[in-house]
Structure 1
Amino acid sequence: MSSQVPDINLGYGFEDEQTRQQLELLDDLQKLGVSEYVDLPQLVVVGEQSTGKSSVLQAVTEIPFPVDDNMCTRFATEIVLKRTQPGEKTRVDVIINPDEKNESDERKIALRAWRPEKFDPAGDLTKDVMKNIFDQAEDIIFDENEERKKMKRGHQPWAARSLSSATLQITRSGPNENNFTIVDIPGLIREKKSNAISIKQTADALASKYLQNPRSIVVVVLDITHPDRQQIYQMLDQVKDQENRVIGVVNKCDRKQAQSDAWVFDLIQNGGNSKKYLKEGWYGLRNRLPSELDISDEERDRRENKFFDGEEWSSLDRNKLGRHHLKSALIKMRNRHMKRSVPKLLPEIQAKLDKCVRDINVLGEARTSNQAQYNSINKIATKYSLMAQGALNGHYDVVPQDTNFYARKLIRDDLDNFQREMVSKGPTKAFRRSEDDADVVAFTVPEEWATKILGLDGYKWIRDAIQKYRAKEDVGEINPEVKNQLWKEQTVSWKETASEWFRRVEETIDLVNSKLFEEACSDEELRAKLQSWLLPEFEKSIEDARAEMERIVLNERDAHLFTLHPSKAERQQAYHQARIQAITDKYVSFNTGASLPQATDPPSKISPVPAKVIINSLIYGNAELVGVINTHDSLAAYYDVALYRFIDNFALQVVERHLLGRHGPLQLFNSDYVSKNLYGEDNASKLSDLASEEPKKAKERRDLEIQRKSLEESKKLVQSFKIL
């Protein structure tokens, strides 16, 4: 290696036409900002602080990076070299790409608008110019005031200062440039002092982010400190496909201890037994010493070549030593990587675009104006009411195939269960069965029947009530108030049962209402606002329904026991006849040959009186017993009629009319209601309060729209790329 490899050999010989076009495609994609959403091929330099990463960058790009770590390790730096048409002038552009996720909109605008002062785009990138760029970039990225600037100029300890995810991008375009992009990220920190822990974690996270990007070509820079003590050496094990996309650099080879540090030779030899074999290999560099900062690039190359001409390095492949061979290897590696990576971009862009569109759809339509807000709510109300009507009418084809939407089915199930519980609970005091009465009197003499019957549970409470409520009635009559009081006792459970099933029906309606709103309005915040807005009307309809339930309960409990239903009289007569028939049958069967007192006096010898007539005369010949039995039969007959009347009234008046009716929770929210309450200038303020987007959501929508535009334009670019 007696002479340097001239730059002209690094030109088109390392790039075919397809690679150049792919590089131009990537540059266009970068301009569209798609790298925020899709990993693009890039070359990244990683290493610990003070390993000489800046010197490596300077060697590869010929741009004089500041070698003071305090000047360039707080944010990522992207160097873009672009070849232009012959004859065009070389130009340098400097911009800052802000952190899209963690910066405010105002800061993003300020960072994007920034350009370095006292900078000539057509001038040379000298050491002083580069220092000026980095100083200004650091000030704007960290928004540093004068006091912090003084601290920085005073070499404030690095560990006490923060890092940023913003990227300083320096683009040099000219006819003699190679199409080449390289990224320098803040160096990893070895120290673990408490005041450096958070900074160390940030640096580690940045490094890991770039290492895990499957489209990154990683340049790992080690110095002559043993690799086992360098964190990046350990982190290589985390890199997927490290053999194909990692290239290694051992920097500061001239500071290696003579006849020691044999690991340096082992790495560069990269043999099968190498401790860290890399397919792309390891390269050795000798960079400027602190005393050589002002020497030219030519002098730097001469001293590096002379150093590696030494006997100690003669056993190594000379193509693995020196900056020009490293640069050649990087360009070849990049070209291969490009051909593998670019064809995979389109499906990934499409997948990201599909997700972005889905996320935008979840947000719903933008609501930046009153008209847009009104249209959005009206659209939701139309969809909601259409599904609600289908759910109430049993037309389930207009709602998702989920039984939680089937309002009519669920309400019918509730009402059926309500009916069964009302019937199964029955009256407070069970009404007497005729067979049970017959069992009691069949084994006693007729003279004791009245006493026996009046002492039975089903009759005694009636007899006691008659005695308790005696008033001005004649002998043999009962006070009409008796039946009213007995009826109240018999129906005491009706209110409790009705109230419980009212609550369950209300829960069913709440469930259906919630499911309908979820389906009609995907915007969770707007849905919550709409439900809160409608809540007073919903609650009013519930209260109206509850008041109606209270009325029908009171009507049945406190009103006069009256019905026009013919079955009441029929049932009462049936109770009477069944009792006499049962007692007759039972008495005759168990008292064969015994005689009954005649119903005529003297007894008729021509036409014997039937036993049933005699028994009826015996039972209903006792005035007190007649009053008790007739009251019992009247209450029992009326109970059957009133029970189903109450069940029907609950179903029709409470549930159907109020809860499911035109003003009920499931029919209230529709286009007419929206128009009446939100349309027009008088309702503009209320509409805005209800439907305007939250700032956070508005920002999310803007970011997603920017992402969609970037992805759509990028998709068009990749689709139109003819070589693919």
Structure 2
Amino acid sequence: MTTSHETDRVTDSILLETIDKVRELNINQHVPLTQLVVISDQSSGKSSLLETATGLPMEHDVELCTRFATQITSRRDPESRVTVTIIPGPNASDEHKKRLSCFTFESLTIENFREQLPTIFKQANVAMGIRTDTNASDGKIFSKVVLKIEKRGPDEDYLTVIDVPGIFRNINEGVTTPEDIELVRDMVKQYIQDSRTIILAVLAGNVHIDNQEILTLASQYDPTGERTLGVLTKPDLVTEPSEKQRVCDLVLGKKKPLTLGYYVVKNRGPDETLALWKADKTLELAPWSSLPKERVGPGALRTRLRELSEQLTRREFPKICKQRLYLGTIARNFQDTVKAALNGWYSDEDGFQKLTMRLITNVVNLSDDFYDGFRMSSHLHKFQDTGDTAQPMAPNGLDLRLRDYGCNTVKELLGRTGLGSYPELEGIVCMDDTLKEPKEDAVNWIYDMYLRSRNMDLGTFGGNVFSMAFRNQSTKWDHMTKSYLSKAILLVHLFITDALNIACPDTQVKEILWSEIVEEILARYKAAMDQAMLLVRIERHKRPYTLSKGFSEKLQLAQGRRTAALVKVAGRSYKPSSPAPDDDYDDEIAVNPDAIKTASANQSNVQRTTQEIHDKLRVYYDVALCRFVDNVFQQSVDYCLLTGPSTPLAVFDQDWVIKLEAKRLKAIAGESKASESRRGILEGKVRDLTAAIEILM
């Protein structure tokens, strides 16, 4: 069974190989590519380090190998072999490209490569037009073409490093000129100036770091040291204890710290056999043995270089192969899906067979469930039933079955979706929907509350008592509303992630795009939740009041029914001679007015006030509940989450893509310069980019 780590490694290898193919087309002259570049002063042990890092034998006495850049690549393959080719320079003519394409060494073994290395470099110099005879007057000393050495094998891990000529200060009469010094410096700068380049600065451990120009040069383009990795070589030549401590201080980050840190490596010497080098115990001795193991030795360095290469490529790959038009197309497809989901235009071909995609249906069902739950359970105490709130039932219970279907579907969806898969929602939503049933007998609770709050009155109560009663009775509104909004947010979040998967099948682009928009999406979720909590505070903590004419009508109805109950108790019943078909009573009541007076007189001021508070609270609670639930749905769910201008569904749209800054756009989709200025582009540049796109497809 293939593990997730192995799958990621395969994916990274494919991406890295694609990057190399694009690099060979010189696309880096148009779009900066991810790369690891080795730079150094002369005689710092760079050639030895390359052999250590790549496992390829590099002859240290082949001086001309430093006259051009060398790309060394390791790739995993069932067959072991080494291939050497030349990548033309960015301005090479078609004729020169054709001539360089004839230079190739294929299917070499490691030993063949070692034996033929002098010949390989000599022929490469000739093909590149580099002067090999110090007495010759024609030809150049350095070239901008790249020698590519590719090593394949079943045990190889993917790694690509680019070696550039070492910086030098002294002129070699008859060989180099002052112009060559600047040419090499410019070549090094060209490779390290882009933010996508990891700089491997090779530093001789036996030379004081302040005397090594290469780190100063690297700091010009990486002032914070975020993409520079220092490699300290020749630890066996560091003899003085103070100098050893100086090197250790660098590795431990005590001096000239780099974000990527320093590594200590003992390379194979010019006259040292491979067996002797492998048996060398220098790094096992103090003080090197006291350094962190992950910072010492060729194995640790190779592991770190591979990790950096994979991380850099995975992060930067979308930046070189996508354009604003591509991102805009993704945004348009996403918004088309949003529109269909909000209007209920479901089509199985568009992914709506998945339950999470049926957004408006899920939200409506959830909201119906919220309304029903609020009516049944949001009050802290059960009101006394006066018989004025009977709910009509549809024929054969059809409405109930539809409601159960909708509620159960949403519950099933939310039940199998935990927040563990969406940690970004923590702190915004609360999925705890546990709720206690309303307590019995609101009348007794109001009676006790009134006794604790009454003043010198004659059976009346002030607004403060009523406000306190309503605030207490609506205690559960906060929790129930937060639970409802949390579920609505989760439904929207599930939809966005699934809709984005459909609109953007490219996993790499989608991950980077998501990292760009998720912060704003979460902010809009929070705004919806804040709006709901504001509505809770307004309803529960303001002075209870309503302009609804329904309040007066329902209150009169409740009071009339209470009076009717007194009449029924005080009167006597008899069968009517011709009962009305819609009469609510089995019997008609014969009333003695004096008996009604007696029944009313038996109530104390406290009892009568308690009943009055109860009836007003019950009617007002019903009015406020309907108003509140509707406001929460309209303002927090519909307006904030679904259809308003600040809905999270609108974060990623074509306007967002159009307004995206160039730097951020490249960070997501890697728009090339060709797409920014299509008119007037050189024909050769168009061909290069077209060829790159064909590779990337």
The TM-score with structure 2 as length reference comes to 0.45
Which structure has the bigger radius of gyration?
1
